[in-house]
Structure 1
Amino acid sequence: MPAVPDLPPVPPVPPGFAAAYRAQRARFPGLSGRQPVHTVYVPADRFTAGTVAAWRDEALGLVHAHLAGPGELADVFGVPDGTAAAVHARLLAKLGREPIEDLRIDFEDGYGAPPDAVEDAHVEQAAEAVAALHAAGALPRRWGPRVKSFADGDPERSIRTLAGIVHGVAERAGGLPPGFTVTFPKVLMEDYLRQFADVLAQLEDGLGARLRFEMQVEAPQTLPFLRAELAEALDGRLAAAHFGVFDYTAALGLPPHEQRLDHPACDHARHVMQTAFAGTGVELSDGSLAASPASGRAGDVHALWRRHAELVRHSLRHGFYQGWDMHPSHLVSRFAAVYAFHLADYDAHRERVRAWEERREAGGGVMDEPATIRTLAAALRRADAALP
């Protein structure tokens, strides 16, 4: 029997590995918790304690008038007959129970730039309304303001509104209700992010709550400084990045009729966002459709729903599971499209995961890789969270 040759010594683990691994775990924690499927934007001067109920009632009214049963839903949204009944039932239940998952009180583009005294009064009004919603158990699971951008050259106004909301709600509600986040728009300079994070750190003293924010990606100038290290550099305060379709396409000089979420330029920007924040725990959200039904006639309502659902499906296919809704009619097409998307392949995904776990073939000639199974399992978790 031939002699076994001596093996060379095994090199030791590199001395820098432990530090690098700790940095990896800190930088890429992955997503945790339930991400809302949408954010509803309401101008601050129109926001009251009755806003959530008003949106619910209008959306339900539109369903009863123009989407009476599964057959109509299948026709409007192109949902298979076998799925339409489940989507329709879930849609009605959702609108009745939780029509808004994430609410943003808008003090920026949707609001304007009134005199300071007027905005201060609306801040007080908003704080009263949030406290009343919280007391009634009707405050959405996530909520907060969108303040003005530092890029406007007036950070004092932005900070004053934010402080007024935070302290005003906390005083009236006996503390800041859970789910608070603030949207920081038009981030044209990376330094603005650090400055805004410092403002939040100062505001949270005595609140007993950690304040986090979401940035808006609304200009091509923002894309170059999006990177994984950004969330870490901001002390974990960056909760999300939201895409702003209209400012972004305007900044590129696209013509008005090309300001749309499914434009290739928007796909590029969203993919940069995905690449920058993959695995970091920073949530991603798509933008909005700036349209409402042209009239109350069924044809106009259906046309709006079809276009909005088309854009929602485009976002979902590209891995953006949250978007903005700007009108009560959008709630109908949002939830209908989301539910149909998750239900379409739910059983097939579950069977493939079970087959993998049981070390058997899933059938249909499918050969799954571990990465595919992780994706399928994540899709099932996301569907379970989204479906009522």
Structure 2
Amino acid sequence: MSLLQKTLEKIECLDHGITTLARERVDNLIKPAKSLGKLEDLAVQLAGITKNLEPSFDEKAIIVMAGDHGVYEEGVTNNPQEVTVAQTLNFAKGLTGVCVIGQVSGARIVPVDIGIKSELPPDVGIILRKVKNGTENMAKGPAMTREEAVKAIEVGIEIANDEMAKGAQILGTGEMGIANTTPSTAILSVLLNCDPIGITGRGAGLGKGGIEHKAEVIRRAILINEPNPHDAIDVLAKVGGLEIGGMAGVMLGAAANRVPVVVDGYISTIAAIIATGIEPRVKDYLIASHASQEPGAKRASELLGVKPMLAMDMCLGEGSGAALAFPIIEAACQMLKRMPTFAEIGMDI
């Protein structure tokens, strides 16, 4: 049995007995009913994920998947493709946005080369799990084979398993890959059955042809490859990216071990849509961090059915939004553990 299949068989629903108890407790804490809003819902979800009325997430890891894209050669961005490898090396040096924000809550940043075009040197603090040296140009044919897509997912599962074995109690997902808003938007266009022009954004920088050219490249990729919207792995293989598959695998692996996953912005949300397309129960384990400024982000969150908790006008990627959300998650846990009920302090209401 494949690692993917074994993982899928382990994914269960939330513990509804625990969520019922958690909701009862939250509703009886010394505060007006519902006065802590989404923080209350988050606490109940975390209890249901962990089967624990006092969940704790002292050990945090953000897994950053890095990969390149063959569609880059279509001129969809003005950024040099070499930025992927340069910025990935900066993760290991602690220099990037997610590294700095992650320090606030002590999150460990785990950079993974799942598909960078060039070869990284060993022993520089990057986990080398390359499936291939970047995807193929999806405007000319499939981005990868189905086998490569499954392998990318399984790499994500393996990295998640490794981090949880090291003690991680909660994971975040992040990515690095020049041109990766193009496959992300292609996936969303397929699953929404809509023209890409209305959901295509600038990404990290537009090529000379602008939005129209980028959308036309996406249209061409969908037309040539005919991805099956009812088969998430087929969509991933034909118009997706290796880092998208890797992040989907992280989500699947975490869910199989009853560990919550904090989803970053647009591209991570697309990975979450792929993960839930493979196994819908994964949705119970996802916490959406922030509403990205990318035009397709709102539609992606609506399709996933998980509303982001933050609106910070961010679109950096890297897992930066996930890092920013960790303190809010800690607050939800502290509310559940440390705030007493009216009965516990002898208040009769």
Greater RCO, CA 8 A, separation 6+:
2
Give TM-score scaled by structure 2 length: 0.32
Structure number with larger C-alpha Rg:
1
Give TM-score scaled by structure 1 length: 0.30
